[in-house]
Structure 1
Amino acid sequence: MRAVPGYEAYDHERWVPEPPKKSYRTSFERDRARVLHSSALRRLGAKTQVVAPYSDDFVRTRLTHSLEVAQVGRELGATLGCDPDVVDTACLSHDLGHPPFGHNGEKALDALSASIGGFEGNAQTLRLLTRLETKTFRHNGGSAGLNLTRASLDAACKYPWTRPDAPVKNGKQTKKFGVYAEDLPIFEWLRSGSGDTGARPGPGQTCMEAQVMDLADDISYSVHDVEDAIVAGRFQLRWMQDPDHRGRVIEYTRRWYLPGVDDATISAALGRLEATEEWVPAANGSRRSMAALKDMTSQFIGRFCSAAIEATRAEFGRDPLTRFNGRLIVPEETDHEIAAMKGLATAYVMTSDERQPIYQRQREIIGDLVDLLTETGDQYLEPMFAADWHDARDDGGRLRAVIDQVASLTDASAIEWHRTLVQGEPFRNELF
């Protein structure tokens, strides 16, 4: 095993030990390759990021978003001393658990599985990496998933707690969690400590690589969702000069991302971005305006990353920061600017009135599929999920197998399954 500075042998361990390999690659490089070649990652190419992937040739999918997060996270992490492949693996993995129809599908599955602990995309990611996307088996015949190293699995844990243990923020228990009750054994293994140093993560403490992944995710979708929305004709940045439009963005930013922060502070964050040379008040689809929009996206990514790097270095010095020997620091002003960018996309895409009937129809499709597959047992389940259904000890386990099946579907396959299985229409290949 090739040594990696800043990481111990403990960090390279896998849940199921594997024989040493004569390889030019580190164990972390092999982790990245396992995720990159997974079917779960390929399926993200047909899953909604913000706008449905089949609606426009330009918009980002979950796959292109994940690739962009990986690029941002890899460079940010390497600058701070993290192993770039550990961060890259976490970034490529971070959305694997998302079901069809994005967060709308996630909410639908959560309600449908309330009796068995609910559904959460991040908990589903851990389940995919350690159980559903199989490369290795345990001694008892059970799946060990991709059998990634401890460091890579921990880096992919954005919310390292169960639903009951979720922390309270702003007086409310957060809805996000990263592990289902039935997956606690592997979770406890990967969170069991940090080897010879004796350092152990505190409850809910994320490792440095996971913090980098989380920030790279926030930065990427804050700027890229705005870019997609502008190109799709949803809004123009010059609208922020209109008090009504500005007020709408401020309201959604506060409600969704910055509860407790006053309007003036959010408006000031918008103002700082508007004052930059890169701000594009209007884009008309020409090559020049598209280039300007792309430059704004690039410059804002650099702006946010640089601010975090400078603040983190000011606190922790120049030593390599890995695992639990440091903390990523995002200045408050930078956090507000990122949130304001997210508020722009929220105000004009995710909450637009015209999309509400679409969201309702998506929830109906998810609900109908779960109901049908629950009623028909293993009849329509793919072989892997049918095996899980048969191995389940009770109705709860069988429902989880159904939920896993539906969550694995892409947007298009969910619509097709619904059309053929629920509506009873014949299969139709739209390409021929």
Structure 2
Amino acid sequence: MSDYTDFDRARWAPEPPKRRDRTAFERDRARVLHSAALRRLAAKTQVAAPGTDDFLRTRLTHSLECAQVGRELGKSLGCDPDLVETACLSHDIGHPPFGHNGESALDVVARPCGGFEGNAQSLRILTRLEPKSFAPGGRSVGLNLTRASLDAVMKYPWRKAAQPVDLPRGGSGGPYGIYEEDADVAAWVRQGAPERRLCLEAQVMDWSDDVAYSVHDLEDALVAGHVDFARLADPTERRAVARTARRLYCPDADLAELEEVFAELMAEPYWPDRYDGTPRTLAALKNLTSTLIGRFCLAAEQATRARYGPGRLTRYAADLIVPRRQRLECALLKGVTAHYVWISHRAVRARQRELIMELAELVAAGAPATLEVPFRAAWREAAGDAARWRVIVDQIASLTDTSAIALHHRLRAAA
């Protein structure tokens, strides 16, 4: 599209001209779709462990649904749809086994090499670990995506040491998207970009992720029996959910405001009063999810157009405007899943974290023999203990839930 320049379409390692019937961003999308890292998301946790129920989503199906939401929202604003879809497909590609729970465990494991963050791991996979292209000097450049596609993936375009002070912080600090050892490619991606500002395509990806996550995880929680509509109709239960949402997702909101928004949202006529697994109630649940997605996306599109007008919007020409009301509604839906699924499964989550930390010790004790072949060479070539430890972290992060459990069992039995 004409609003994107040769600078936006540039690749870190220049490539010879290829067929002219595909754009650079179409090629980016294809590279991510065909990557092993994306396929592995099929066996990584979203709400429930993969394989526990054929209906429930995995990290891969979430990424595909996020991509569909983002492609349409981005297109409505004038963004290149393939560029936005590439970012949405890639946004969780760095997630380790057991989702965010595994991420927190790996962050502890990775302290000797600077920590672990799923967003930074995504950039590392796309620009280094997923074998597709190599620079003239022999260094892997991963999928060698365009500058604009990589920029659209970067939800947190800063290093751990340069986190904005106003970000919400957990026990190990706030989110970041760049490891120190990947600062060179990140600087190339962000060349000329306003400091810490996300491009419009990244903002569309981020909101699409929130929308897909909040709506579809609620659907899965209802189908799995963790949540039922009768409980959500109880003001006392809604108050408890609102407290969870406020603590995790919107600490600036007033509890009374959240309760009011929650009650009004559930009073909408498309909310079913029950779900019992029958085709009719399943259809009503599907209508709820599609209506909520439309509500959230249309609100963002209309608010953004109201500020910037009808022209095509790309890169740094605009910011995505999401009304506060829809942000709070989205936070409340995420709060439902957090309250009834994540918080109530503390014992399972603790065992998962223990497995990740034990696995790191077992892999390190036998390295490089305990590493998969692609990681052995990197371990041998690593300059120092911290770099070798990063290779071990890369190996564990690449595993699926099932392969992490299997490897832990095998190494523990052999120890």
Mark the runs of 5 or more structure 2 residues left unpaired by the alignment. Answer: none
* Alignment match, 2:359: 369
- Give, in whole Å, the separation in 2 of the partners of 1:5 and 1:349: 46
Is the counterpart of residue 411 in structure 1 residue 401 in structure 2?
Answer: yes
- SS of 1:96 mapped into structure 2: coil
SS class of match (1:272): helix
For 2:305, the aligned partner's letter is R
- Counterpart among 27, 41, 44 of residue 30 in structure 1: 27
1:202 is displaced (CA, Å) by 1.9
Once residues 171 and 14 of structure 1 are traced to their aligned partners in structure 2, the CA distance between those partners, rounded to angstroms, is 33
The SS at the match of 2:196 is coil
Aligned-pair CA distance for 1:30: 0.3
1:11-56, Cα deviation, whole Å (9 max, x unpaired):
0100000011133000100000000000000000000012111211
Name 2:412's counterpart in structure 1.
422
Shift of 1:387: 0.9
| Range with greater deviation from structure 2 (75-84 or 260-269) | 260-269
Q: How many residues align?
A: 413
Which residue does 1:70 correspond to in 2? Answer: 67
TM-score (norm 2): 0.97
Q: Does 2:379 correspond to 1:389?
A: yes
Shift of 1:239: 1.3
| Residue deviations 1:290-314 (CA, integer Å, cap 9, x gap) | 0000000000000000000000000
- Matched residues in 2 for 1:281 and 1:176: separation? 38
Residue of structure 2 in register with 1:185 after alignment? 184
Partner of 1:93: 90
Distance 1:324 1:38 in 2: 29
Query: Bigger shift: 269-278 or 302-311?
Result: 269-278
For residue 323 of structure 1, what is the amino acid of its counterpart?
A: R
Quick check: 1:236–1:281 contact (8 Å CA) kept in 2? Answer: no
Q: What are the superposed Cα offsets for residues 361-393 of structure 1, whole Å, 9 maximum, x if unpaired?
A: 111111111111112120111111111101100
**Structure 2 match to 1:130:** 127
User: Which amino acid is 1:125 matched to?
Assistant: S
- Larger displacement relative to structure 2 (14-23 or 82-91): 14-23
Task: Give the residue type in structure 2 aligned to 1:215.
Answer: W
Matched, 1:10 2:2: no
Distance in 1 between residues matched to 2:286 and 2:407, nearest whole Å? 37
**Which runs of 5 or more structure 1 residues have no equivalent in the other structure?**
194-200, 426-432
**Contact 2:167-2:174 within 8 A present in 1 as well:** no
Show the counterpart of 1:20.
Answer: 17
Give 1:84 deviation, angstroms.
Answer: 0.3
Quote how far apart the aligned CAs of 1:172 are. 5.2
- Displacement, 1:58? 1.0
Q: Using the alignment, how far apart are the partners of 1:170 and 1:25 within structure 2?
A: 39
Aligned to 1:428: none
1:280 aligns with 2:275: no
Q: For residues 167 and 325 of structure 2, what CA distance do their matches in structure 1 show?
A: 19
- Of the structure 1 ranges 231-240 and 115-124, higher mean CA displacement relative to structure 2 is found in 231-240
Letter of the 1:297 counterpart = T
Structure 1 residue 171: Cα displacement: 7.4
- The amino acid that maps onto 2:65 is E
SS at structure 2 position matched to 1:311: helix
Partner of 1:295: 287
Q: Tell whether the 8 Å contact from 1:170 to 1:259 is kept in structure 2 after alignment.
A: no
Residues 22-61 of structure 1: pairs in structure 2 closer than 5 A:
22-61=19-58
Letter of the 1:178 partner, please give it: G
AA matched with 1:322? T
CA distance in 2, matches of 1:170, 1:67: 28
The one-character-per-residue Cα deviations of 1:63-122 (angstroms, maximum 9, x if unpaired) are 000000000000000000000000000000000000000001000000111122100000
CA distance in 1, matches of 2:174, 2:50: 27
Q: Contact 2:69/2:208 (CA < 8 Å) preserved in 1?
A: yes
Is contact 1:159–1:204 with CA below 8 Å preserved after alignment? yes
Equivalent pairs: percent with the same residue? 53
Q: Give the aligned partner of residue 430 of structure 1.
A: none
SS in structure 2 at match of 1:227: helix
2:169–2:175 contact (8 Å) kept in structure 1:
no
Q: Which residue of 1 aligns with 2:310?
A: 318
Question: How far apart are the structure 2 equivalents of 1:146 and 1:342?
Answer: 32
Cα distance in structure 2, aligned partners of 1:152 and 1:125: 12
